[in-house]
Structure formats: structure tokens, C-alpha cells
Structure 1
Amino acid sequence: MRRIGRRDIVAAILIALVTGAAFTSPPLQNLQGLSLDILTALRWKLIGDRRDPATSPVVVVAIDGETYETPPFKGSPTQTWTREIGRVLGSITEGGAKVIGFDVIFPSSIELSEIPFGDTSFGNRVRGFDRDYLIALRKLSDSGKLVLGEILSNDHPDRPDHAQQLAVKNNIRALNVHTDADDVIRRMPLSFPIAGQPVPTMAVELAARALDAKPETGPTGVTNLSGYAIPNTVPNTLTLNFRGMGRDIPAYSFADLRACVEKGDTEFFRRAFDGKIVLLGSILNFDDRKLTSMRLAGGYDGTPGSRCALPAPASTAQQALSAVAGVFVHATVVRNLLEHDAVTELGFPLRTILTIVFAAIITAAACLLAPTGAAVTWLGLTVAYAAVAVGTFTHAIALPLTEPVLAGLTALALMIGYRFVVADREERFLRQSFAFYLAPEVIDGMVASGKMPALGGEMRNITMFFSDLAGFSSIAEKMTPSELVALMNDYLSAMTDIIERHGGYVDKYIGDSIVAMFGAPADDPDHARNAVAAALQCRDRLEELNENHPAFHGRGLAHRIGLNSGEAVVGNIGSRRRFNYTVMSDTVNLASRLEGANKYFGTTIMASEMTVSQSRNAYTWRELDTVRVQGRDEPIKVYEPLAEKNQETQEQGIRAATYAKGLACWRTRDFAKAAALFESASGDDPPCRYFAKRARTLAANPPSADWTPVNTLEGK
């Protein structure tokens, strides 16, 4: 196991973040669907489904090949089947079916045929042919036990013929499906907007009627049906759970049921359909076939139901099919809804985190182990994770599978490549490496002397610069890792360029914080003035980024800057084996406290009295307060830079003068007058509002006689 350095850790983190973010990004969204397909196949192959199809709450009446080969349907157009369909529907209803849905559409009637027949048309010759069928539809529709299907489309809608629409009134629902980019059905829509109102799809309507409930969609977009909050990652959809791969749903041949009606076996219809939801649909091999998440293992067109009148056709055993009949997709939705068994998919943030964690583990293994060992680790982790994912999928929870595995494999390759090209050829990049963490002056001295830097330090008068982004954690939570890295790179680069242009040296970055010093390692007698100039430009530059930079737009980033001048020890500080050019002293600590103190006053820049005195009257200042910061007993005066000397606006001058008068009244305990002065200038000025509130409080509740005008700040 090799030893790893800081650079290796940084590389590993970046590789994990990049690969994790890449494989869950929208361009690779098909991987999410592929995960569902693989999980469906693995669950079926490893665990299967032991449920008895007879217990299914939904059954299918199948217009199958047997129907087309059995009289009176053989050789007859489907428009002539309506009478028999009406008779079968009546028997199914009398058998106790809760509701019947049509996954077949009869868009025309034989009565509308205009084929010449003698001196008139064929349609006129058979006028009244559909009468019994339409009466049956009306009767079932009025009882709430029938729903016809339609296909919604702006270009080519497909609806039942006009007479059927009149017979069933408004009992028509959409059969449209939700198809992913790879033409696979993994989710189904829950409703469609019709006349400005959401109308449930066929499957949702059937389940709702069976439960005697109505689907309700809340403000969060979650649809609730009879107490079941339907999970979804794609709004207004249900993720299908093909737990039984179609074999958990009985399918009764329409030809046999028609013969059963002729036989008069009402008891068979009661046994088969009592309390069931019934879907009428085609299961022909050439009609309405759908690719679903069962495609990898193969699905089934149901399990043949018991027979009533006709002998079972001589056929081979059922075979798994890549595409199943569309009616079983709708039947699966109904069963998922009734059994609260729809698949719960993880949202984008959780999928990304899981993928990054998986990639990070593989990256760490590739960093520590030999390539062969790292590859074995990837394989072992993949098998273990797949087992966990299949286990959770048995409980209808889908973990991402392909994204972590592929991200881990890519991270493995990238980390091995990094080690080969970079980490094991360190000498080639010695100078470039030093340039990232040593000051240029230190590197120049090392090259000139031919010696490596040594431990040691000296006392110097410097100005410390601390900055930190306000509320950045809450903003970062709403960003992807790649967006966060890009944003921070742009921000830190912009601020660092300003600091270095003014002679400053960036000691370190701590997350979104910058620690810099002016006056070392290069001598600078104007270090305080340059530090203030850099702070003002950093403030202005961030405003420009917020307005003009696409990555910053709308995020409202703001930072706080603390400045303090004084004596400090600077030099190569650390252990004998590892050290950095850095700074140590109370001057550093106080600058850090002043950065945090900005949040009390609502200011962007706060400087100590020492920095003000050493800036050589180059700026106009506003004295903010006398404060006692955490970790120091001695109070200090703190100031805010307004502008370069004589460059302040008239408004800034008036506000500063009013603030000074209010501060004077505050210190003489005239709190009411102080509050009035601060309030008069408080418009868009946070320090005035802060002091006005404090003054009003003390005016209403005067302090004790030993009160001193020192503001003790509790936090950092």
C-alpha cells in the first residue's frame, strides 16, 4: 500500500466529484432508466414472484389469436363484434366486476359504412346493428362501471365513434403512455389537462373507482389516492413496478368468454370477475406491443385464466417477450396503485451523492492499491452494491445502479492514469508544484541559493486580510458539485488576482475563505493602504460578478472582509519534514475576528484602528463602534472604509457625519437622541439600523450606572 500525499487526496476528491457528477448529469439520463431495467431483471432472476395470479385485483379480457380464429369472429371485421362484446360485458358485470376499462378503441361503426349495397349503402342496410351494444354501454356507464379509452393527440387523436361517446357520456379516459428517450416505457402518466382541469388516465380512473376515491394532487406535485402518496421523480407520473413480469395478472380469452355466455355459465363469471377490475385489450403479437423495463429479462402477456366453454388451444408454453401487450402496462399501473407498490426512485441529489460516494471509494482504492487490487475492489464493491440494490428493489425502492458502477469504473481508470502520468513523476513538476504553495520570492531564493527552504521566521509589520463568503453553505446546497467547483474557482481566481496586484500574498484558502498578508514576504511600507485598496476592489469585483457572470447571476453572493495591522512572525513554519510559508500572531487572530464581526453591523469591510492609522490618510473612514471580540479582553475601535480620500459621495459624507453624531450621543447615554439620529440615516444602511435598534432598546430600558459603550461580540 503506497503512501499518499495531499496532492493525491485532492486529485482523488476531484476525480470522484467529476465522475459522480458526470454520470448523473442530464446528458446521461438514460442510465437511470437502464438501472430500472437491470434491477427488474435481477430481481426476477434471483428472487422471482411467488404471488398467485388468482389473487390479482385486476384481470385482462384478451382479444387474442384464438378470438380471431373462432366463429363468429373468424373472418369478420371487428366492427361486427360489438354485439358480442356487449353481451360479454354484461355477463362480466353481473359476475360482480367493480369496473371495466377499454384498452381497445372502436373509432368507427359498421352502421356508418358507405360501401354501395344495391340501391343504398351497406351502412343503411344494417342500421340499428349497434343498438344493443350502445344500450349495454349506456347501462354500464350510468352505473359507473365502464370507462372507454382514447388516445390524446394534437395531430391524430383516436376516440370511440360518436355514438359510443354519447352512450358513455364523459366516461372516457386517456390511454397515452410516458416513453423515455430510448423508447422504453418505465413510467406512466397520472393525468392530462383537459379543458384546463387535470383528468385521470385510464388506469388511475379504474383504481380510483375501485377504491371509491378521487386522486388529489397537492402543492408539492405529489398525487394522493385513498391515502397513498404516489412516489415520483418525473412530475405527474408513476414508476412501474413489474414485480410479476406480467405473469401475476390473469388473462381470459374473449372467445372463451363469449362461448361461456352462450353456455349460460353465470357461476364461472362470478368466480373469475367478482370484485375485480377488468381491462379489455388486444394481446396479438403484431398489435400494441410495448417495450418496458421488463425488456432485459422478458415479460409475459399475463397468465392464461381458467377456461369455461372452449378447450384450451394446443400451444407451446409461454415465452418471455421483449415487448408485451400494452393492456398489461395499464393493468400493472392499476395493481401498483391498489397495492401501494409503485417504485420509489431517488431524486437527483441523492443519486448524485451515492454515485460520488461509490466513485470516491474506488478512487481511494486506486490511490492506495496496485491497479489489479483496485480493479478487484471495484468488482467486489459492484457485486455487493448490486446485491443491496436488488434487496431494496424488492421493497419497491430503486437505487441507482449503472451510474455508480460506471462512475466507479471511470474513476478507477482516471486515478490509475493520474498515478502513471503525474504522481509517480514528481521531479518533473517540482518547480510548478512549489509555485502553488510558496510565495514567488521564496521560490526565487530557493533557486538562487540551490537550497530547499528551511524552518525559520522573523518579526514583520504586516496587514492581514481575511475574507469569507456570507451564507455560502445554504447556497452550495442548491448547486451540483461541478457547479460549486466552477463557481469557487472563478471567485477565488478573481479575488486572488486583485490581492496579488496590490502586493499581497495569499497564505491559504479555507473552503470559500481567503487568508492573505500584505508586507511579506516582499517588503511593502504601504502594506496597510494596499490592503484596504484590495479589499475595496474585491468588494466591487464581486458586485460585478453577481451582475455579469452567468455562474454568479441570481445567487446574491456577498463576502465579509476583516483587516488588521501589526507585528507578526512570518516565515517557513511547520515540522522539519513539512512546512509552509505562513504567518502567526495575535494580529492574525484579530483580523479573523473582525471578518466575522461584519455580520453584526451588516458591513462588508471592517478594519482595526491600527490599519486606519497605518493607511496614511489615504481613505475616508467611518468609525463603527468600540467592540470587544471573542478571545480578547481589551476593547478596540473598528472602522469601515467608505472610499479613497476626497472621493466619497455627498450622501456618504452626510451619512458618516450623522452616524458620528449618533455614536457620540450613544456614548454619553443619550439613547433617545442617538436612536433618532441613526433612524434618520438608516434607509439602506445596515449599521445605522443596527445601532438604532440597540439605542431604542436602551432608551426603553436604561442600563445601570456602570454601563460602558463597549459592544461585546459573542461569536467569532
Structure 2
Amino acid sequence: MVVAAIALVCAAASISPVARPIRGLSLDILTALRWEMFGRSHDPAASPAVVVAIDEESMRTAPFKGSPMLTWTGEIGRVLAATLEGGAKVAGFDVVIPNSLEQSEIPFGDGMLGEKIRGFDRDFLRALAGASTKGKVVLGQVLGDRSIMPSSGQRIAVRQQQNIRPLNDHTDSDDVVRRVPLTFTIDGAKMPTMAVELAARALGTAPQFDERGRMTLAGYPVPGRVPNTMTLNFEGGADDIPTFSFADLRACAVKNDKDYFRRWFDGKVVIFGTVLDIEDRRQTSKRFATGIEGARAPRCAAESTPVMAGFRISTIAGVYIHATAVNNLISRNAVVEPGPLVRFLISTLFAVLAAAAAWRFRPLSAALAWMAVIVASIAGATIAFNHALALPIAEPLLASLFALAATIGFRFVIADKDRRLLQKSFALYLAPHVINRMLSSNKLPELGGETRDVTVFFSDIEGFSLIAEKMSPDNLMELMNEYLSAMTDVIERHGGYVDKYIGDSIVAVFGAPADDPDHAANAARAALDCCAQLAELNASSPLFHEYKLAQRIGINSGEALVGNFGSRRRFNYSVMSDAVNLASRLEGANKFYGTTVIASETTVALTGEAFAWRELDAIRVKGRTQALKIYELLALSAGLTSSQAVLITDYADGLAQWRAREFERAAQYFGRSADIDRPASLFAARARELAQNPPGEDWDPIRTLQEK
């Protein structure tokens, strides 16, 4: 319940007004990722809108160099007429020229400047009037407390508000443009914005509105999460919309190159605007996917030199906002954003997954799982955005991150406090597997157990009583602590569980409490590594310089009852069966044979061919009537030396002859290594004795060991 509450609170917080500043980041990030993953999705030449840029080149090229824009009107009219004659469907002006030189009251000579240049704007106004008659020109205005309108002459030429539309855009709370308004109400009448008007005229239809104010254009229901707006679908880079330098087009119009205008403007929506380094720059959802701006369309004339920017900036010229909106409306690919309920459900899903991971796994594993889910979800959202669907990524990321951190904090401060105390308190008494099983079961330990196939490992120090007599208690404790610590580390490294210490003896189990299908092989590896570790201690540890320790190890596999044994008030997790007793007897058998590691035939059968075993004998141990074959562990098969291989072969031949009652031949085989091998020496002496005094027909080749 706490985890669910954390997830819900984090999800609700991610879509609350407090998180509004980060909400638009999803669009910004998706725009950049789509650009990086998929590149350009449309050929720029197919763009419905093109831009005529009053750019740095135009500002530096004659006849415009050093002249205010008020003096450009005649040339603007010339270029406007050329584009419309070239087949442009409609032309819009993102630049507003609010004044006219003809209205100037600056004294000039014996009169006013305006009087001296009367008719200066005539060509421009004629071009506007001719285009407005055909409905092919739209001037812009900026609404506000002090609205900016075209000059009175321009307004008259375009028949007033019939061909004038607002240029205002929609800015989010973080001052980033991600949407454009669809309409404004002026004098009680609903008026489309510049982009809507241009798209509608290009499509030859008027926008329609339903009772809820949602707009449909040429059968396309314009999506918009914010009422009366459309979310822009920006391409990445800087060449998504063909851009023509005004200076180059003016030179082209002077040359009367009609083919050029037909080739590049036929069927297009033309938007005049400024593309300058510092003027009318806006941050948009394209801010992480911008490019180096400049005149990027094929040029017509060579009279001017292109001026290219030398670096990328995060803003774009405002004219591209309108051009993108026109393209989205005509191409019907405006961005679709889910509503608040869908965003809340998505954030809740991610918060639940993060909280569940933090509750189920360790913090590092939970963090890695969270990162994997976030990366996968962002990739999926990018693919969806390539189809104009903007799934939220900032809100789910924020919600899931807070849920992850809050759940980890809750576990650390409250939920896992008792668990950590229990683990810390019992770590020195119980195996980690036992503690974890007890905690995961969510119930107290109780008496009882289960039958499992296990391998029991029993080790003892040779001559420990004599060593203990010669050492002080403190030194003996220090010696044993180092020995038992080293052996325990080896056993646990191979998956074993140390059941108990009995003085210098170690009783360990492989295959319980954790399941281990290779319990026999792991016990054999542990035995070899324990021998190697003791040899290293004898050689390097100062505590072992005076007393060189030797150990004996018995290994046996079989069914055993594992679980909690003891009284109702106090018990231990342990193992109980005949397999344990037999492992103890096999450890003791090393005394007789002078060996270090002896295992039962059951263990040898389970270990496979990875180990080099020598069959020692067939014996009966004290307390058992059934005979069994015992084996000495010499080495890993890969590490077997040639001398050990010869020893195994001679011993096996001798044992075969012994069991066939060929005692003289058995003595010969055993005698080959009797000087260096205690088991061979024992068999050689006994074989020679039986060769001189042959046994009766009831002779049994099984040796009975009476000592434990």
C-alpha cells in the first residue's frame, strides 16, 4: 500500500502545475531525438511553404545597403509580383512596415519630405492591390495593448481587414514557442491567424469550427491539447523549409528570369520575413535540433554574396514558426498530444514500475532496471513521434525517478530497518542463504525440515590434540580463528554452507539451503582449494611457522534431512542423515590410509570427469554393515601430473590383482610406489603376507575399519 501510494503521489505531482515548466521538455527532446535517429523525414523541395528572407545578405547588398526598410517598398513589390506571377498560391508578410516615407513630416527644402517623394510607394501598393483582388496576399499585424498595423496605404491597398491577419504566437510558461494560436477575436469577430489564413487560401477552403471551438480545415481536424492552438511539428536541422535571399530574388526579378520563379514558387505559400542574427529570434521546441542558418535554396543571380552563419544557435527566426504551421496544416501532420488523464496514467505506470523495482530489488539493480525502462520508453516515444504522436517522457521520467528515490528511502528508513538488524545480528551465526530464505518467507523459523540431495563435507586437523597441549589458549584461539576463517571462505566461495564448527572440525553442506545441482563437484573443488589454502598458510602466515597444520577431509553425497532441528525454544539450521555420519567416517579413514581427501563412490559418480580420482579400497566403516568403495581426490583432471597418472594406473592394477586373489602380482604392482605412497605400502605388505599365507575360500576383499 505504501508503494502504491508513493507511485500515485509522484504521478500526480508530475502533471501538477508545479511541474508545468518541465512539461514542454518532452516535445523539445523528442524533436531532437527524432532528428538524430531518423534525420529529415521530408524533401525540403516538397515543402508547401517557402521563405523569402530579408537576411544579412540583403542588408549588405546594393541597393539596400545602408538604407532603412521604409525605402525598400518598391523592390518588395517587385519581388512579390514576381513570385505570384511564378505561380505562388498566396503570399504572406511576417514583417510589418507600419509607416511610409510618403507620410513623413520631416522638413526637407522648402517643404516636407513626404511631399517631395509623393508616389514613392506606388509600385508596392499596386502590387498589393493587384494581389489582394485575387486573394493572394495577406499582410500581418501584431495584436496587443499597442497593436502594430501596416501603414494606412497598405491597409487600403489590401482592402483593410479582409487581407490582414494576426502574427501573434503562443508562448509557454518557460518562454518557448511550441504552439501557434488558431484564431483571435477582433471586434467580436473570430479571425484566423496568419498561418491558418495562408493554409486555407492555399487549400481553397475556409476553416470550420464546431460547437466546442475545434477547427477543421479541408476535412482535417486540427489537434490541439491547449484550446485554440495547434502544436507545431518542427523538422530538425536548418534546411527543412526552402529559404531565398530577398537580395537574390530582387536581382532575379530585375533580370526578368520568369523560369526561375516558376520553378521554385509554383504552387507554394510564400512568406516574407526577416532572418537576421539578432532580430525576431524565438526559442521553440526545435531548440535542441537547430542548424546553421542562411540562404539555402538554389540561387538565381550572382550579383550578391551569401552570408552564412558560422555557428548554431538555439533560436530560429520567427518567420519559420509561421512556415512550419502552414506546412503542418497542409500536410496534416500537426503534433497530437495526449490529454491530462492519459499523461497521468502513463506517469502512474512508470512510477509503479520504478517503485516496484525499488521495493523488489537492491538499489543498484533497481536503478539499472529503471534506466533500462526509461531508455526503452524514450526510444518508443521517439518512434511514435516520428508519426506525430507526442507521448510524454519528461513527466513519466520525473514521476518514476521520484518514486524510485522515495521507495528506496522508505525501505532504508523504515521497511528494511528490522531486516538489516536481523541480517547484521545473525550474519555471524547463520549462512546468508538461511537468513534470506527466512526473511523472504515473511514468517518466523519453525521446527522441521525437508529431504534434499546434498554433499556433506567433513574436515579435521591432524594431531590437533598434541598441538593444543603445546600452545597457550590465546595463541591456540588465534591460530584456529585464522585457519577456520580461511577454510570457511573457500567453502562459501564454492557455494557451501558451514553447518557447525566442532573444535577444529568443520561440517559443511553443499546443495542446501540453496539449491545446487553441482553440489558434489563444488564440494570436491572446495576440498582441493582448502588443501591449497592450508599449504599457503603454512608457508606464509607467521602463526603457522612453528606448527605446520595438516588436515583430513571426508566427502559423501546422498539424501539428507535439512532444516531446523532442536527444542521448541531453541534450534539450529542443520543437516541430519546417515550421509553425515559416513562423511565423518571417511574423514577418519584418512588416518589409516595416510591420505588427505577421501570421498564415497556416490560423490565420485556425481562429479563427472573433471576430477582425477584414485579408487583406494572397498571398506566397511564402524557402525555400518554395508561395504562401499572409497576414492582419493588427487587433482583436477586438467592438472593431473604424469607421476600421479602412473601412480593411479599401478594402484588400479594392483587393486584388480588383489581382488582376483593374485597376491604376488598385486604386491609387485603396489610395490612400485610403496616407498612414496602410504596406501600402496599398506596393500603391498598385506599382499605379501597373504601370498605366503593364502586365505580360505570365504576370504572377503573388503577392509573393515574399526576407528572413527
TM class by smaller structure:
0.5 to 0.7
1:675-686 alignment to 2 at 5 Å? none
Distance 2:303 2:32 in 1: 34
1:174-253 alignment to 2 at 5 Å? 174-253=166-245
TM-aligned CA deviation for residue 318 of structure 1: 6.6
Tell me: CA distance 1:376–1:241, structure 2 relative to 1, closer, same or farther (3 Å). same
Q: 1:384 aligns with which of 355, 376, 379?
A: 376
TM-aligned CA deviation for residue 406 of structure 1: 1.4
Q: What's 1:77 paired with? A: 68
Q: 1:296 aligns with which of 288, 303, 306?
A: 288
Supply the AA of the counterpart residue of 1:410: F
SS of the residue 1:247 aligns to: coil
Conserved 8 A contact 1:355-1:403? yes
Conserved 8 A contact 2:236-2:286? no
Please say if 1:342 is aligned against 2:334. Answer: yes
TM-aligned CA deviation for residue 375 of structure 1: 0.5
**Deviations 1:530-568 (Å, cap 9, x if unpaired)?**
xxxxxxxxxxxxxxxxxxxxxxxxxxxxxxxxxxxxxxx
Supply the AA of the counterpart residue of 2:86: G
Distance 1:25 1:318 in 2: 41
Distance 1:348 1:221 in 2: 19
Supply the AA of the counterpart residue of 2:266: D
Q: What's 2:158 paired with? A: 168
Distance 1:68 1:314 in 2: 11
Conserved 8 A contact 1:248-1:303? no
Conserved 8 A contact 1:297-1:320? no
Q: 1:145 aligns with which of 116, 136, 146?
A: 136
Conserved 8 A contact 2:98-2:149? yes
**Deviations 1:16-36 (Å, cap 9, x if unpaired)?**
000000011122112220111
Cα RMSD over matched residues? 1.9
Distance 2:164 2:130 in 1: 15
Distance 1:129 1:261 in 2: 19
* TM-score calculated relative to the size of structure 2: 0.58
1:96-135 alignment to 2 at 5 Å? 96-135=87-126
TM-aligned CA deviation for residue 71 of structure 1: 1.2
Supply the AA of the counterpart residue of 1:260: C
Mind listing any 5+ residue stretches in structure 2 that lack a counterpart?
A: 421-443, 445-708
TM-aligned CA deviation for residue 313 of structure 1: 2.4
TM-aligned CA deviation for residue 198 of structure 1: 1.3
Supply the AA of the counterpart residue of 2:158: V
SS of the residue 2:312 aligns to: coil
Q: What's 1:652 paired with? A: none
Distance 1:316 1:241 in 2: 25
TM-aligned CA deviation for residue 273 of structure 1: 0.5
Please say if 1:330 is aligned against 2:333. Answer: no
**Deviations 1:494-525 (Å, cap 9, x if unpaired)?**
xxxxxxxxxxxxxxxxxxxxxxxxxxxxxxxx
Q: What's 2:413 paired with? A: 421
Conserved 8 A contact 1:223-1:229? yes
Distance 1:186 1:354 in 2: 22
Conserved 8 A contact 2:87-2:266? yes
Q: 2:147 aligns with which of 150, 153, 157?
A: 157
**Deviations 1:683-705 (Å, cap 9, x if unpaired)?**
xxxxxxxxxxxxxxxxxxxxxxx
Q: 2:400 aligns with which of 402, 408, 418?
A: 408
SS of the residue 2:31 aligns to: helix
Distance 2:163 2:5 in 1: 57
Tell me: CA distance 1:69–1:315, structure 2 relative to 1, closer, same or farther (3 Å). closer
Conserved 8 A contact 1:185-1:290? yes
**Deviations 1:435-459 (Å, cap 9, x if unpaired)?**
xxxxxxxxxxxxxxxxx9xxxxxxx
Supply the AA of the counterpart residue of 1:159: M
**Deviations 1:159-190 (Å, cap 9, x if unpaired)?**
10111111101200000010011110000000
**Deviations 1:70-103 (Å, cap 9, x if unpaired)?**
1111111211111111111111111000000001
TM-aligned CA deviation for residue 216 of structure 1: 1.3
Q: What's 2:541 paired with? A: none
SS of the residue 2:50 aligns to: strand
Q: What's 2:59 paired with? A: 68
Distance 2:284 2:174 in 1: 10
Distance 1:196 1:258 in 2: 40
**Percent identity for Structure 1 against Structure 2:** 53
Distance 1:120 1:209 in 2: 44
**Deviations 1:25-78 (Å, cap 9, x if unpaired)?**
122112220111111111111211142211111100110111111111111121
Conserved 8 A contact 1:208-1:215? yes
Tell me: CA distance 1:253–1:320, structure 2 relative to 1, closer, same or farther (3 Å). same
SS of the residue 1:192 aligns to: strand
Distance 2:417 2:320 in 1: 60
Distance 2:213 2:102 in 1: 45
Q: What's 2:364 paired with? A: 372
Distance 1:335 1:235 in 2: 20
Tell me: CA distance 1:116–1:311, structure 2 relative to 1, closer, same or farther (3 Å). closer
Distance 1:80 1:264 in 2: 22
TM-aligned CA deviation for residue 319 of structure 1: 4.2
Conserved 8 A contact 2:347-2:395? yes
SS of the residue 1:341 aligns to: coil
Q: 1:320 aligns with which of 312, 315, 338?
A: 312
SS of the residue 1:63 aligns to: strand
Q: What's 1:530 paired with? A: none
Please say if 1:261 is aligned against 2:256. Answer: no
**Deviations 1:595-627 (Å, cap 9, x if unpaired)?**
xxxxxxxxxxxxxxxxxxxxxxxxxxxxxxxxx
Q: What's 1:393 paired with? A: 385
Supply the AA of the counterpart residue of 1:101: G
What is the aligned length?
Answer: 420
Supply the AA of the counterpart residue of 1:121: M
**Deviations 1:91-140 (Å, cap 9, x if unpaired)?**
11110000000011110000111111111111110011112211111110
Supply the AA of the counterpart residue of 2:367: A
Q: What's 1:5 paired with? A: none
TM-aligned CA deviation for residue 389 of structure 1: 0.6
SS of the residue 1:138 aligns to: helix
Q: What's 1:309 paired with? A: 301
**Deviations 1:237-269 (Å, cap 9, x if unpaired)?**
000101244421111111111111111111111
Q: What's 1:274 paired with? A: 266
Q: 1:351 aligns with which of 343, 347, 353?
A: 343
Conserved 8 A contact 2:292-2:312? yes
Distance 1:194 1:342 in 2: 26
SS of the residue 1:105 aligns to: coil
TM-aligned CA deviation for residue 301 of structure 1: 4.1
Conserved 8 A contact 2:177-2:284? yes
Tell me: CA distance 1:316–1:110, structure 2 relative to 1, closer, same or farther (3 Å). closer
Mind listing any 5+ residue stretches in structure 1 that lack a counterpart?
A: 1-9, 429-451, 453-716
SS of the residue 1:306 aligns to: coil
Tell me: CA distance 1:25–1:184, structure 2 relative to 1, closer, same or farther (3 Å). same
Q: What's 1:698 paired with? A: none
**Deviations 1:453-491 (Å, cap 9, x if unpaired)?**
xxxxxxxxxxxxxxxxxxxxxxxxxxxxxxxxxxxxxxx
Distance 1:134 1:85 in 2: 10
SS of the residue 2:24 aligns to: helix
